[in-house]
Amino acid sequence: MLSLAEIRTKAESWLSKEFNEETRKEIREMLDKDEKKLIDAFYQDLEFGTGGLRGIMGAGTNRMNIYTLGMATQGLSNYIIKQCGNQGIKVAIAHDCRNNSRYFAETTANIFSANGFEVYLFEALRPTPELSYAIRHYKCQSGVVITASHNPPEYNGYKAYWSDGGQVVAPHDDGIIEEVRKITSVSDIKFNGKKERIKIIGRETDDLFLNEVQKLSLNPEIIKKFSNIPIVYTPIHGTGITMVPPALKRFGFTNILNVPEQDITDGNFPTVKSPNPEEPDALRMAIKKAVEKNAELVMATDPDADRLGLAVRNRKGDFILLNGNQTGVILIWYILSQYKERKKYKGNEYIIKTIVTSDLMERIAEGYNVEFFNVLTGFKFFAELIRENEGKKKYIGGGEESYGFLPGDYVRDKDAVSSCALAAEATAWAKSKGMSLFELLLDIYVNFGFYKEKLINIVKKGKDGAGEIKAMMTGYRDNPPEKINNSKVIIINDYEKQVSHDIIKGTKTKINLIKSDVLQFFLADGTKISVRPSGTEPKIKFYFSVNTKLASSDKFEETEKILDKRIADITADMKLT
């Protein structure tokens, strides 16, 4: 770790005329008055990783600002030129609602244009999935979205995409990181943009994107009968406001209720503790509106509209939040069942899920004789697999437990816009059968098995915390448990070693996925436990999945208590509670 003297020297280098006056002023204030803030801003460099940049905004090498962003963009530009030459390069740029997002997007556009690229810059905030679509539509070599997803207001971020519309994967990820690391001085960044190379895009691209969303509708005739279903939607101050309501209207829904306070685009997210649809507080105002208006469905999207949270009425009529696994299960079942009902299958369809997502998706795919694939956490691996199968197999849907879902392949990242439209249609379909969406979920459990999941995050901050997380993973890897909650461990998947060990058979087989620091323990009673360090936060994640048969929907509550107790017993046995 750098000494205070080294940090001060590093900070003083930011007082040169290469940096703007606003930056120099902030640096001088830190040097004179705020040693703690100075250390936080300069003790390390904000690292460009496989997912791009993400950090607190402000002056300093460990902050999101036009200089750290500029180094990333210049490095990305240099890599694109190495890969594609320096003629005819096109890139697309979008941004979310966060503070400085437009400024960062325009800075990125200037740097790309200064490097000779043709730039497609959205006129205002737009969802991440629309950026993915635009890259493919305009035949771009790369693209960038300025967003920090559902992080707190003080954060912003930068995600890089490749020509397939997916976030960068090997070998491009390492190649870009290498080029970014070569940019060691602000003087290396070409900030002086060429306006004639920057094309502002907007409504024409929106219409093309929405046309593709509309094609996903599987039961337009049912929507006509139930078009007036009251649905509450909130963008939580984010980009979803631009595309989700129009998408719902394109599908045919006419009774979309909003939360006016949360329709206002605001990077401070004033009405919520966190703009994360996984958090109950983020849907609190929307659920209140739904109760007042007797709505049947509540939908919320995160700031860049790639994650979807749903609330539905249970059999008592009270709103409950669905988790990401449950939403994914409903949408997968709806797609597969309607493909069968409408005789759309050609025999080459497949779905994708991540290794930590509910295996109930696999059971449903098996039930409909549809191929399924498991990939590592991250939709960039969905995009990679879709690209590899292009022209041979047809991707029709897939999701992950962390509230991401993608129906159709015209986008290559998780897409809450199309997922909202499909969730609304599934609600209309269920209503046509005399069911609610919750009752549809229970019906799926009865037919395919009742799977219950829980995620536990253990936060370990700082350098010591990182060491503790590493030690925990080493301990599980070197001394794996023989039993958990009195159930034998029968299979261990080690994605770092790329080996699946069947303990009962005594065999080891290769896992055909790239290396990743993930361990999975499969127990004799059907339990799956996954353990991995977070890639973006100082925490280690434990994913628990248990299952049993559900005899009938009337047995749901008592069966759920049994599964909840099993999870509680497992976490107690592992000393996590």
Residue spans of alpha helices (H) in 45-157: 66-84, 101-114, 128-137
Q: What's the CATH code of the domain at 308? A: 3.40.120.10
Contact in structure between 179 and 75 (CB atoms under 8 Å): yes
pLDDT given for residue 406 in this prediction? 98
Same domain, 378 and 471: no
> Please, what is the average pLDDT of the chain?
96
Residue 212 tokens read as 């593709």
Please confirm whether the linkage preceding 277 is cis (ω < 30° from 0): no
Same domain, 384 and 259: yes
- For tokens 């009251």, the residue is 230
Same domain, 297 and 433: yes
Burial class (CB in 10 A: 0-12, 13-18, 19+), 539: middle
Domain boundary among 379, 414, 444: 444
DSSP state of 210: H
Residue 504 tokens read as 């009962």
Contact in structure between 127 and 210 (CB atoms under 8 Å): no
> Helix, strand or coil for residue 163?
coil
CA distance 373 to 379: 13
| pLDDT tens-place string over residues 35-88 | 999 999 999 999 888 779 999 999 999 999 999 999 999 999 999 999 999 899
**CA torsion sign, 264 to 270 to 272 to 275?**
positive
Contact in structure between 272 and 282 (CB atoms under 8 Å): yes
pLDDT given for residue 403 in this prediction? 97
* In a domain? residue 440: yes
Catalytic-residue membership of 337:
no
- Amino acid identity of 4? L
CA distance 300 to 38: 37
**CA torsion sign, 381 to 386 to 389 to 394?**
positive
**At how many degrees (to 10) do helices 203-214 and 240-251 cross?**
40
Residue 383 tokens read as 């995009």
Same domain, 464 and 415: no
What total of structural domains would you count in the chain? 4
Contact in structure between 199 and 92 (CB atoms under 8 Å): no
Annotated active-site residue in 149, 163, 358, 530: 149
Same domain, 431 and 530: no
pLDDT given for residue 529 in this prediction? 98
* Mean of pLDDT values over 418-443: 98
pLDDT given for residue 447 in this prediction? 98
Same domain, 225 and 342: yes
Please confirm whether the linkage preceding 407 is cis (ω < 30° from 0): no
Q: How confident is the model at residue 377 (pLDDT cuts 50, 70, 90)?
A: very high
pLDDT given for residue 161 in this prediction? 97
Same domain, 164 and 199: yes
* In a domain? residue 154: yes
pLDDT given for residue 43 in this prediction? 92
Q: What's the CATH code of the domain at 489? A: 3.30.310
pLDDT given for residue 535 in this prediction? 74
pLDDT given for residue 138 in this prediction? 98
pLDDT given for residue 286 in this prediction? 98
* 3-state DSSP percent of the chain in helix, strand and coil, to 5: 40, 20, 35
Query: Taking the CA of residue 123 as centre, how many other CA atoms within 13 Å lie in the half-sphere pointing to its CB?
Result: 8
Any idea which of 300-314, 350-364, 458-472, 562-576 has the lowest mean pLDDT? 458-472
Q: Phi and psi for 200 in degrees, rounded to 5?
A: -85, 125
Domain boundary among 204, 231, 260: 204
- Strands, E, within 185-289: which ranges? 198-201, 231-234, 256-258
Q: How confident is the model at residue 465 (pLDDT cuts 50, 70, 90)?
A: confident
State the residue range of the domain holding 30.
1-40
Domain boundary among 204, 236, 259: 204
pLDDT given for residue 29 in this prediction? 96
DSSP string, 539-564: EEEEEEEEEE----GGGHHHHHHHHH
pLDDT given for residue 18 in this prediction? 93
| pLDDT tens-place string over residues 498-523 | 999 999 999 999 999 999 999 999 99
Size of the chain, expressed as the number of residues it contains: 577
